[in-house]
A = this chain, B = another copy of it.
């Protein structure tokens, strides 16, 4: 069978290799990119779906508008408004089947084969692959502890004239880094200066531990004239409420949003109205603040425990910035005093010690840094984290 040429743009063996690491029984896994199932507010979701099937069964079970179920659009607009994003009306947002679909619709709507896009190096693996499937050449912009290097970004935009720039400005995956306020303004100014679409992927912004992060690019776009017209924002309920609902959303300039709606019509017609009505009832019932507070406290404790264990068990072999939110801790093997500096080798040894994580190289669209790796602190409790990081220390010191 002869398949579409676009499939030649995607190399999935790296992903398959990652997945192989995850399945072994008895292993302590820091490899996942998902929230802890134990955090799900099952009672609240049960009450919400019960309410949806009692009050609006016709709407919840029937075909719905491609743009999204109106009661959910209203709740999502209110959710954003409560976070300081003013001026986004319910009709300004498109409900998507997880924020992954928002990325897919942006690819379908924007990218012709051979177009360039700029992402952070490192960034979310599925974004790189998603855009490559539409024929994009993916360029990597360097980051540091404060997010993407905006001077380098400007040079790359000027040089490559990309179709879009994709960023995870807050608690990035896998980097954990958060873009500073000053750089956020600069990114919006670059969008206007170069008439280049900036995509803000923001699944983790609510998951802060102490102080709130700087305002989202979407919130700031009201202060940077013209930037609204060059900004798309992807939101998600997956990391706090439930990934299984598959509820994300896209806020974008009208001409882009209208085309994304058209593409979505032929992608999946609409997102499950059953899930949308359930999410709308959940948000309307006012459960979200308590759920968020609980999740933040638990993940904060785990992040601190993991950071402390890393310093204790691995010492100067690693460097990292203590995360202020999100799900991930991004680690660099320093190679100090001749210690191991290849995270792929460490990953193999770690499996032998009964602990799994994801090496950093596949997260780079270009110039992979093999000394990096990603740890998720979300799904293991503190005791497991301490045990797992101790095993990681043993793996580091193990003979090859």
Contact = CB atoms under 8 A, between A and B. Distances in A.
A97 B272 contact: yes
B267 A134 contact: no
Contact of A244 (B35, B96, B273): B273
A354 interface: no
Interface in A171-198: 197
A7 interface: yes
A63 interface: yes
Which among A45, A62, A112, A272 has the highest number of chain B CB atoms within 10 Å? Answer: A272
Number of copies: 2
Interface stretch (A50-58, A295-303, A328-336): A50-58
Contacts of A76: none
Given A101-B268, A113-B113, A246-B273, 20 more contacts: A1-B253, A3-B259, A4-B108, A4-B112, A5-B112, A6-B108, A6-B112, A37-B62, A42-B61, A59-B244, A63-B238, A97-B97, A97-B246, A97-B272, A104-B266, A126-B265, A130-B266, A244-B277, A246-B272, A267-B267
Contacts of A277: 244
Given A6-B112, A37-B58, A97 B278 contact: no
A58 B41 CA distance: 11
Contact of A53 (B3, B34, B46, B100): B46
Interface size class of A (residues with CB under 8 A): 35 or more
A308 interface: no
A111 interface: yes
B245 A272 contact: yes
A274 B262 contact: no
Given A6-B108, A244-B272, A275-B274, A62 B34 contact: yes
Interface in A1-30: 1-7, 10, 12, 15
A388 B259 CA distance: 35
A133 B245 contact: no
A269 B246 contact: yes
A10 B267 CA distance: 14
A1 B108 contact: no
A341 interface: no
A100 B266 contact: yes
A129 interface: yes
A391 interface: no
A98 interface: yes
Interface string A44-76: 011001100100011111111000000000000
A53 B57 contact: no
Contacts of A42: 53, 57, 61
A376 interface: no
A142 interface: no
Contacts of A110: 3-4
Interface string A243-269: 111100000010110010011011111
A126 B267 CA distance: 9
A61 B49 contact: no
Interface in A77-131: 96-98, 100-101, 103-104, 108-113, 115, 126, 129-130
Nearest to A134: B4
**Shortest 9 CB-CB contacts between residues of A and residues of B:** A244-B273, A130-B266, A61-B242, A61-B244, A97-B268, A37-B58, A246-B272, A63-B243, A42-B57
A271 interface: yes
A58 B40 CA distance: 8
